[in-house]
Amino acid sequence: MTTSRLLLAIESSCDETAAAVIREDGTVLSNIVASQAALHEKFGGVVPEVASRAHLERILPVIDDTLKAANHKLTELSAIAVMTEPGLVGSLLVGLTAAKSLSWSLGIPLIPLNHIEAHIYACEMQASETIFPCVGFVVSGGHSNLYDCRSATDFQLLGSTIDDAAGEAFDKVARILDLPYPGGPSVARLAETGDPAAIGFPRPLLHDKRLAFSFSGLKTAVMYEAFGVPGSHKSVPELTEQRRADIAASFQAAVVDVLVGKCEQALHHTGHKTLCVGGGVACNQLLRERLQRSSTKRGYRLELAPGDLCTDNAAMGAIAWRLFESGKFADWNLDVTPGLVRAGD
């Protein structure tokens, strides 16, 4: 019988408690995600204290469930991988403490992972060949980051947002339009019945040379469109169902134009012929279609993270095997890094 090593990956950086068992060849044997969306919905966004308490309650049952689903025991593991950056400090600490405890008690290596890099690696998990070198784009609730990815262990940040992330803008626009959290899927759903050309929202920084994003002004433009400019006596049209849908569709079209344009700019800047896109906003159907069209027109290879691996999960912790090969293990001083740190800094 051939034996293949196994590792347990843990993810708790934001509001998903997740664990996966992954074989050395990259096969994901189990992938459990306990979402906290229902807990945060009434606040319209993630409340850090609520998130860390919920992680604390869920982490051990989630690890237990993922081992059972994989039909393996703790003692069969060869390593523990854990996302230690970036994210909410309290949330990250729950995952790290569980990972350290398991690694210490089982006497197996501890592998720290960068959550953002793992989002890009998710694109390799169903690709027929390696994605590297590539431009990696992580577009999520907390990040809109473009990377020059030279290898699985060498990611250089090219640019990010100077204010709100793309997913954050979707979440805030959902609040303006009185739609449920998380905002991305609900705005996208409402946009299906709207006219994307109804309102000419700005395309922030689209024609700027910098590889940077800014979505805060766009969110304000949506607010003014919906409720009028404060202090102005100009009347605004009634916020009918059709108008809400038109605003959603026009907002989504503006965000997608910017995201696609900046990816094209990053490909041109680096000279890479492959683009990999992951993170929650990569679930967006319009974005996926527009990127497909762009790749056909411009002749680059596009690898989108599979739908179920776009939002936060631990299966994308499969990148840990690449770090395992190069002996990138941590010692007991390993700590969390909540803010974004550039790979290589």
> Interface with ligand KG4 includes 11 (CB under 6 A)?
no
> Interface with ligand KG4 includes 279 (CB under 6 A)?
yes
Q: In the structure encoding, which two tokens stand for residue 186, read together?
A: 């609900």
Q: Which residues bind Zn ion (CB under 5 A)?
A: 140, 312
Partner whose binding site includes residue 281, from ligand KG4, Zn ion, none (CB under 5 to 8 Å by kind): ligand KG4
**Structure-token match 């996302």, residue found:** 83
How many residues sit close enough to ligand KG4 to count as binding (CB under 6 A)? Answer: 19
Give me the least distance between CB of 54 and Zn ion, in Å please: 17
Give me the least distance between CB of 253 and ligand KG4, in Å please: 12
Give me the least distance between CB of 280 and Zn ion, in Å please: 6
> Interface with ligand KG4 includes 14 (CB under 6 A)?
yes
Residue of the chain from 136, 184, 204, 338 that contacts ligand KG4 (CB under 6 A): 184
> Interface with ligand KG4 includes 31 (CB under 6 A)?
no
How far is residue 230 CA from its own chain's centroid? 34
Please choose, out of 71-79, 176-184, 209-217, 326-334, the segment that lies near ligand KG4 by the rule CB under 6 A: 176-184
Please choose, out of 26-34, 74-82, 100-108, 134-142, the segment that lies near ligand KG4 by the rule CB under 6 A: 134-142
**Structure-token match 């090969």, residue found:** 325
Residue of the chain from 82, 83, 281, 302 that contacts ligand KG4 (CB under 6 A): 281
Give me the least distance between CB of 140 and ligand KG4, in Å please: 3
> Interface with ligand KG4 includes 283 (CB under 6 A)?
yes
Nearest CB to Zn ion, comparing residues 303 and 312: 312
> Interface with ligand KG4 includes 185 (CB under 6 A)?
yes
Cβ-contact 85, 115 below 8 angstroms: yes
Nearest CB to ligand KG4, comparing residues 67 and 283: 283
Q: In the structure encoding, which two tokens stand for residue 273, read together?
A: 């012929």
Partner whose binding site includes residue 141, from ligand KG4, Zn ion, none (CB under 5 to 8 Å by kind): ligand KG4
Q: Among candidates 192, 247, 190, 254, which has minimal Cα distance to 224?
A: 247
Residue of the chain from 36, 161, 270, 311 that contacts ligand KG4 (CB under 6 A): 311
> Interface with ligand KG4 includes 170 (CB under 6 A)?
yes
